[in-house]
Amino acid sequence: MTVRVGVVIAAMNSVEYLDQALGSLATQTVPVDEIVVVDDSSDDNTAAHARRWTSVLPLRVIGTGRRTGIWGGRRAGIAELTTDLVMQLDADDMFAPHHVEVMWEAYTRRPGLVSPRPLTWTGRGPWQQADYPKARFPLPGDQLAQLLCTNYVLVGAMYPRKLYEEIGGYRRTRYGEDWDLWLRLVAAGAMVSKPDEATYVYRVRAASYSSLFDKDVAQTEVLTRFLSACDSPVYRRVAKLALLQRIGPAFTEGLEARPVTAAQELILAEAGLSPERVRAAHADPELGLVVRVGTGAGTDGGEHIAVLGSAPERLVLAGPVCAGGRVEADLIEDETLRRDRSSLRDILR
């Protein structure tokens, strides 16, 4: 390869797993040019453990000085790279021996943001094929719109360092730092592609950083940021549909209340929602009318949310409000904008 590839590993208290991650880099059929391990103020000997590999890998170990989280560790590590491409590896994951080769081939076919296909591993037994619904993305159509609704790019992605720097790189995010980056890369013109073969080994663990959060709520930070910087009516509408599917009734806070017209009542009835049980309706400038409809007796019964678009008046989305307030879209105008909540952990449940 004439294009140089660098790997960044953000690590915190990773002694238990780091040898497997670095060992997988040492056995690549196509070696990488640089590796940076970032010790995010670990309480164990993560940094010293990583330095043991400097004699066999083109490896540098740096520290953050204070605990920053994953976004800060990756940002610091990428700043140390001098390569053309950045490839990510979590400290508890691994690469199959031909991973770099497979990712490079995918990049040469379609330069941009390359998302690996995953294998899963519990730490025991063989690697497993990761067959889960989200893996089918991106579907034909608008990749940015789909990415706003479903983060279908895996953590171990590869992308051009120049474009990463142009969009400002990783930024402080409570949760969803990768998704925030992917959205800005794609909005800046990067096309998402995936190799044909699964080569990124994702370790499935009961306890992880992401298990500390209600992800539906935490992801609102990423979508709200996107909305604050977006002036495209098309993508503002999609981002709001994505937000609505995550937080449900809370989406209507601050919106102006509006009555439901007779024509809109007919659309609700055709969707199986009783106009007599409308609890509230609010207008959003991009989405249209967001209607809350009861499905049980009194205020303690279940609830559906429906979005009614205009010009022409039509049903855009409808579905029940589930635990945590999220909306499961039973009906949706554009199937590519249905949020897919499947995850790699679902495979082993």
pLDDT tens digits, 238-252? 999 999 999 999 999
Segment among 126-130, 238-242, 295-299 with least mean pLDDT: 295-299
pLDDT score, position 346: 63
Please name the residue that has the structure tokens 């204070």.
Answer: 66
Give residue 133's pLDDT.
84
pLDDT at site 207? 61
Is the pLDDT reported for residue 75 higher than 90?
yes
Look at 141-155, 178-192, 267-281, 296-310 and tell me which has the smallest mean pLDDT: 296-310
Taking only the tens place, the pLDDT of each residue in 181-217 is: 999 999 999 999 999 999 999 999 766 555 555 667 7
Q: What is the model's pLDDT at position 212?
A: 52
Look up the pTM and report it. Answer: 0.94
Q: What is the mean pLDDT of residues 144-153?
A: 97
User: What pLDDT shows up at residue 349?
Assistant: 46
Q: pLDDT value at position 348?
A: 54
